[in-house]
Amino acid sequence: MAIIVGILSADGGCGENEIFNECGSPCDKTCADPVPTCIEMCKARCECRPGFVIHPTTKKCVNLKNCPK
């Protein structure tokens, strides 16, 4: 299953400003919590590129500078 997910993601399954990580964190970086405390475990998934976090309204990865104040 992870191989299929990896192949789909490599073909564009991740959204804008996202990258596929075979050993990503299960916790999202968000505008409210750009450096979350999280358990140490791998989860194959798309996650925001470095310097990007999930916007609270759009739920899309945005540059940390574009977060609401």
* Three-state SS annotation for 20-45: EEEEECCCCCECCCCCCCCCCCCEEE
User: Has residue 2 got a pLDDT over 70?
Assistant: no
Q: Smallest Cα–Cα separation from 2: which of 43, 47, 40, 48?
A: 43
pLDDT in tens, 17-26: 999 999 999 9
All domains of the chain in start order, with CATH: 2-66 (2.10.25.10)
Q: Pick the residue with more confidence: 52 or 5? A: 52
Say whether pTM exceeds 0.85.
no
